[in-house]
C-alpha cells in the first residue's frame, strides 16, 4: 500500500556530467562513459533504496535527455541535420535531429542498461521512455509529413523495445508524455492510439507520465498563463481512463491541478506527485503526507503511488536526495495511519 516511486530522472553526479543542467555534456566517452554511467546508476539505486523508494529506476543515468536517449539508436534519424523548432506548441525553441527516412530499430536500444540495473537491485524496477506524441513534438520530420503516421512509426519501435525490456525483468514501463498537456484534442484523435500501440502486449505494469514540465524558466512562464486552475487533465483523463494503460503519473505538489480531477481516472493506478521539482524548497515529510491524504479522497490507497511531480535531473544532487527521503518518510507516515 502506498508504494513509492519516482517520475524518472535524478541529477547526475558531477563527475559524470555537468550538474544542474539539461542536455549536460558527459565527462567521459566510449567504454569509460559506460562504466561511469553504471557506477552512477548503482549509486542512485542505493540512494533510492535508502530513502524508502519501493519502485526504483536508473535515474536516467544512461541518457543525456529523456527524449534523445532513445532516438540515438533508431535508424532513419539524421543527427547531423539539426533543425530548430518550437516545441510544446512553441513554448521553447530547441535544435533537434531530423527524420529523413523510414524509421527502424536495428537492435536493442536500452537492453544493456536494463540488464545491468536489474542485476543491482531486488526492488521493483521501473524504466522510462518518451511517448510517441512527445517524440514527434521533439523532432523535425522530412519523411513522413504527418504527425499521427510518424507517431505510429515510433510507437512500433518503442513497443519492440518495451517487450525486450519486459523480458529482462522490468516491472513498470512508463512512457513520458508531457505533450499530452499541450495538444489535448490530438490526444483523443491519435495520441492515445499511438501510446497504446507502444504498450501493446506488455504484461508488466504500463504507465504514462503527464506533467507541466521541469522547473525551467520557459515552463514557469507557461504555468503563469494557465490561470488559477490547471484543468488540462480534465480533457485527457477520461481518454486515459478508457485506455489500456495501467498507471497515470501527474503532478500534485504545489500545482494548481484541482485534485477532484483524479476521480476522472476511473480504475487506474495513480502516481501522485508529492514532490515539487520546480523549487529549491524542501518538502517536510508532513507536507508530503498532507498531499497524499488530500489525494486519498479521490484515489484508494491500494491504487495510490506517492511519486515526484516530474524528473529531478535539473535539481542539485543534495537537494534531490533530501526530497527522496521526504517522499519516503511522508508515505511512511500515511501508511502507518492507515494501518493503525
Where does this chain bind Zn ion (CB under 5 A)? Answer: 211, 310
| Nearest in space to 166 (alpha carbons), one of 130, 199, 123 | 199
Give the residue with the Cβ less far from Zn ion, 105 or 323. 323
Give the residue with the Cβ less far from Zn ion, 98 or 219. 219
Give the residue with the Cβ less far from Zn ion, 162 or 211. 211
In whole angstroms, how close is the CB of 103 to Zn ion at the nearest point? 24
> CA torsion, points 178, 183, 189, 191, in degrees to nearest 10?
-20
In whole angstroms, how close is the CB of 213 to Zn ion at the nearest point? 6
Q: Taking a C-beta distance cutoff of 8 angstroms, is the pair 108, 173 a contact? A: no
User: 3-class DSSP state for residue 85?
Assistant: strand
In whole angstroms, how close is the CB of 327 to Zn ion at the nearest point? 15
Give the residue with the Cβ less far from Zn ion, 61 or 168. 61
Give the residue with the Cβ less far from Zn ion, 154 or 180. 180
Give the residue with the Cβ less far from Zn ion, 127 or 144. 127
Alpha carbon distance 154, 156 (integer Å):
5
In whole angstroms, how close is the CB of 209 to Zn ion at the nearest point? 5
Alpha carbon distance 28, 209 (integer Å):
30
Alpha carbon distance 295, 257 (integer Å):
11
Phi and psi based region of residue 201 (left: phi greater than 0; alpha: psi -120 to 50; beta: remaining) = left
| Nearest in space to 46 (alpha carbons), one of 15, 16, 10, 19 | 10
In whole angstroms, how close is the CB of 309 to Zn ion at the nearest point? 7
**Can you tell me which residue has the cell 488530500?**
294
The neighbour count for residue 170, using CB atoms within 10 Å, is: 23
Residue 154 contacts by C-beta under 8 Å, 6 or more apart in sequence? Answer: 74, 103, 132, 135, 136, 194, 198
| Nearest in space to 90 (alpha carbons), one of 204, 194, 283, 225 | 225
Give the residue with the Cβ less far from Zn ion, 211 or 240. 211
Give the residue with the Cβ less far from Zn ion, 307 or 310. 310
User: 3-class DSSP state for residue 77?
Assistant: strand
Amino acid at each position: 500500500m502506498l508504494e513509492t516511486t519516482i517520475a524518472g530522472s535524478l541529477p547526475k553526479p558531477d563527475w559524470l556530467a555537468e550538474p544542474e543542467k539539461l542536455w549536460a555534456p558527459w565527462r567521459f566517452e566510449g567504454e569509460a562513459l559506460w562504466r561511469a554511467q553504471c557506477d552512477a546508476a548503482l549509486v542512485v539505486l542505493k540512494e533510492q533504496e535508502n530513502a524508502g523508494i519501493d519502485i526504483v529506476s536508473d535515474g536516467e543515468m544512461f541518457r543525456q535527455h529523456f527524449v534523445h536517449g532513445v532516438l540515438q539508436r533508431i535508424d532513419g534519424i539524421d543527427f547531423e541535420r539539426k533543425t530548430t523548432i518550437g516545441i510544446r506548441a512553441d513554448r521553447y525553441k530547441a535544435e533537434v535531429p531530423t527524420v529523413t527516412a523510414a524509421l527502424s530499430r536495428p537492435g536493442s536500444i536500452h537492453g544493456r542498461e536494463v540488464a545491468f540495473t536489474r542485476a543491482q537491485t531486488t526492488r521493483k524496477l521501473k524504466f522510462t521512455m518518451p511517448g510517441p506524441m512527445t517524440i514527434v513534438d521533439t523532432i523535425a520530420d522530412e519523411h513522413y509529413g504527418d504527425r499521427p503516421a510518424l507517431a505510429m512509426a515510433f510507437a512500433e519501435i518503442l513497443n519492440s523495445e518495451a517487450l525486450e525490456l519486459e523480458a529482462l525483468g522490468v516491472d513498470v514501463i512508463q512512457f513520458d508524455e508531457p505533450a499530452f498537456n499541450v495538444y489535448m484534442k490530438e490526444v483523443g484523435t491519435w495520441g492515445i492510439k499511438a501510446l497504446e500501440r507502444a504498450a501493446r502486449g506488455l504484461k508488466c505494469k504500463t504507465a504514462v507520465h503527464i506533467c507541466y514540465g521541469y522547473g525551467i524558466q520557459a515552463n514557469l512562464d507557461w504555468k503563469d498563463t494557465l490561470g488559477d486552475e490547471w484543468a488540462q487533465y480534465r480533457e485527457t483523463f477520461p481518454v486515459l481512463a478508457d485506455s489500456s494503460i495501467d498507471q497515470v503519473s501527474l503532478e500534485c505538489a504545489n500545482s494548481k491541478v484541482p485534485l477532484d480531477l483524479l476521480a476522472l481516472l476511473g480504475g487506474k493506478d495513480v502516481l501522485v506527485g508529492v514532490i515539487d521539482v520546480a523549487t529549491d524548497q524542501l518538502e517536510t515529510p508532513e507536507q508530503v503526507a498532507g498531499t497524499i491524504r488530500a489525494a486519498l479522497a479521490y484515489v484508494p490507497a491500494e491504487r495510490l503511488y506517492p511519486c515526484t511531480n516530474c524528473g529531478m535531473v535539473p535539481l542539485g544532487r543534495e537537494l534531490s536526495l533530501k526530497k527522496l527521503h521526504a517522499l519516503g518518510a511522508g508515505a511512511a507516515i500515511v501508511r502507518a495511519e492507515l494501518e493503525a
